[in-house]
């Protein structure tokens, strides 16, 4: 199924990219990488589908040249990747030369193909040594993130087109320390509240460190969702506001207004670190771009039987992906327009992740996935509509280049434009890969 848009439908200079993340593809057993909290989380029964982990993943550590050839063949301008903190500093403080050498070779290989490297410094591989001191619940972790920033930027910063500090702080903090779905799998409001602050502090400290090193084009990547109420009752409307506050406004207000939203802070304050206002200037340090990851909307109702935030998610009626996520492109448009109008104005924005998982299978060396081309078309349409409404959107990255280790879901959920056979490591570009390549090169 052809993609309904091509480059010509987007402003001059608009960049298309494909995105990946270190733990999901590299293979953490390679290159003297240290262990991270995902290694322990996934080895604990019940946390990850089939007890799978990222030890081999797509073996990208050894196959990155072949994978970057695919990015090039796909007609993309840019490649979004991340550096694993546990690979760079296996014990959380000492540099692993093999780890940095690998990222050095990777950076060169991206540039050799005339692809623009878009780096994310933290996409969730917290070294075990830092998990041992409480991970993101401990302020020390935010300070240590500066060491990782400095090590990576001194090594490959000269070749980066754009750098993001943290991928999805909501997932780093709330999903992982309050909901317990991601490593370290905690369900503890005090740890979560602290993590919600420390991850932003790490962002601010990292920005500061990169400014001192002369790095340009620095940003952060937030995952936003459009929150909708299940009904128009006052209780569901306020449940909607609470989730919007925790998921979206917490991060946007902190970064762009140097404050946390009052309606959320009044309940979380009991668990927060003291003197947090002293960090807000740093957290709101100016950035050069903002990345938005968008997948679906969230419908919520009040759950009066539960303590704060007393919300429950309701399944909507729209078509769902393999993740059980509704396909709702309108939420991409509304999220981009909202961020631009309420927070960022002219600041360049990128869609740093958007994509869908499907139960893709290979038949006669081909993967037929028309639903993905359709998904991409409808989300490109939403991105275009946002641009038409004045959003300074500069690029769109598909998640993901490859089928990979989808965190707690293991290898079952296939987001890739390229199918990966995890037994043989054979890559098979799906029909959507060819469709998108045609749209980007014609
Ligand atoms: C995002 C993550 C990414 C991937 C997609 C499906 O939340 O950033 O690593 O798991 O979801």
Where would I find the H helices in 157-261?
169-170, 176-177, 189-212, 234-244, 250-257
Quick one: pLDDT at residue 54? 98
Q: Which domains, ranges and CATH numbers included, belong to the chain?
A: 7-441 (3.20.20.80)
pLDDT in tens, 332-370: 999 999 999 999 999 999 999 999 999 999 999 999 999
Nearest CA to ligand 1 atom 10: 406
Distance of CA 358 from the midpoint of ligand 1 (Å): 14
Burial pattern 190-226, b for ≥16 Cβ within 10 A else e, equals bbbbbbbbbbbbbbbbbbebbeeeebeebbbbbbbbb
Quick one: pLDDT at residue 413? 98
pLDDT in tens, 87-103: 999 999 999 999 999 99
Residues 382, 174: Cα–Cα separation, whole Å: 28
Q: Does ligand 1 come within 6 angstroms of the Cβ of 67?
A: no
Q: Does ligand 1 come within 6 angstroms of the Cβ of 403?
A: no
The structure tokens 């760079």 sit at 88
Q: Tell me, yes or no, if 168 is annotated catalytic.
A: yes
Distance of CA 374 from the midpoint of ligand 1 (Å): 20
Strand pairing report for 218-223 and 162-167:
parallel
* Reported pTM: 0.98
CA dihedral (402, 404, 408, 411) positive or negative? positive
Which among 23, 38, 353, 411 is the best mutation to test ligand 1's pocket, defined by most ligand atoms within 8 Å of the CB? 353
Where would I find the H helices in 113-138?
128-132
Segment-wise mean pLDDT, segments of 10 residues, the chain, 442 residues: 94 98 98 98 98 98 98 98 98 98 99 99 98 98 98 98 99 98 98 99 99 98 98 98 98 98 98 97 98 98 98 98 98 98 98 99 98 98 98 98 98 99 98 98 90
Catalytic residue among 52, 168, 226, 302: 168
Distance of CA 157 from the midpoint of ligand 1 (Å): 24
Nearest to 379 by CA among 321, 296, 317, 291: 296
Based on the number of CB atoms within 10 Å of its own CB, is 328 exposed (0-12), middle (13-18) or buried (19 or more)? buried
Q: Does ligand 1 come within 6 angstroms of the Cβ of 125?
A: no
Q: Does ligand 1 come within 6 angstroms of the Cβ of 415?
A: yes
Q: What are phi and psi of 18, to 5 degrees?
A: -125, 145
In this structure, how many other beta carbons lie within 10 angstroms of the beta carbon of residue 298?
Answer: 22
Listed in sequence order, the residues at least 6 apart from 77 whose beta carbon sits closer than 8 Å to its beta carbon are 15, 16, 17, 115, 116, 395
Distance of CA 415 from the midpoint of ligand 1 (Å): 9
Quick one: pLDDT at residue 442? 85
In this structure, how many other beta carbons lie within 10 angstroms of the beta carbon of residue 277?
Answer: 10
């Amino acid at each position: 199924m052809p993609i309904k848009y091509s480059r010509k439908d987007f402003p001059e200079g608009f960049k298309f990219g494909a995105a990946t993340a270190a733990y999901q593809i590299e293979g953490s057993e390679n290159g003297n990488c240290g262990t991270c909290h995902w290694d322990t989380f996934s080895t604990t029964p019940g946390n990850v589908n089939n007890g799978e982990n990222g030890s081999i993943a797509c073996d990208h550590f050894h196959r990155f040249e072949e994978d970057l050839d695919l990015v090039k063949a796909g007609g993309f301008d840019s490649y979004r990747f991340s550096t694993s903190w546990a690979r760079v500093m296996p014990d959380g403080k000492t540099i692993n030369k093999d780890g940095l050498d690998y990222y050095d070779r990777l950076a060169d290989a991206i540039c050799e193909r005339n692809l623009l490297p878009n780096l994310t410094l933290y996409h969730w591989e917290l070294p075990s040594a830092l998990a041992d001191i409480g991970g993101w619940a401990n302020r020390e972790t935010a300070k240590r993130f500066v060491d990782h920033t400095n090590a990576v930027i001194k090594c490959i910063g000269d070749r980066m087109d754009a750098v993001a500090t943290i991928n999805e702080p909501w997932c780093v903090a709330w999903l992982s320390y309050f909901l317990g779905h991601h490593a370290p799998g905690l369900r503890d409001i005090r740890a979560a509240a602290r993590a919600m602050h420390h991850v932003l502090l790490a962002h601010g400290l990292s920005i500061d460190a990169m400014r001192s090193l002369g790095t340009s084009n620095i940003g952060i990547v937030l995952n936003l969702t459009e929150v909708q109420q299940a009904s128009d009752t006052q209780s569901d409307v306020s449940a909607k506001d609470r989730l919007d506050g925790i998921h979206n406004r917490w991060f946007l207000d902190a970064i762009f207004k140097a404050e946390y939203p009052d309606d959320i802070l009044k309940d979380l304050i009991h668990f927060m670190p003291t003197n947090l206002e002293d960090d807000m200037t740093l957290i709101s340090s100016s950035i050069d771009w903002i990345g938005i990851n968008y997948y679906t909307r969230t419908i919520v109702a009040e759950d009066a039987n539960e303590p704060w935030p007393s919300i429950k998610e309701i399944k909507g009626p729209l078509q769902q992906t393999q993740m059980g996520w509704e396909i709702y492109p309108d939420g991409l448009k509304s999220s981009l327009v909202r961020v631009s109008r309420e927070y960022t104005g002219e600041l360049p924005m990128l869609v740093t992740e958007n994509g869908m998982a499907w139960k893709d299978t290979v038949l006669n060396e081909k993967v037929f996935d028309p639903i993905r081309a359709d998904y991409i078309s409808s989300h490109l349409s939403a991105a275009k509509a946002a641009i038409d409404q004045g959003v300074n959107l500069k690029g769109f990255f598909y998640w993901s280049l490859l089928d990979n280790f989808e965190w707690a879901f293991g290898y079952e959920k296939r987001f890739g434009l390229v199918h990966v056979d995890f037994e043989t490591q054979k890559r098979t570009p799906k029909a959507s890969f060819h469709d998108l390549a045609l749209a980007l090169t014609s």
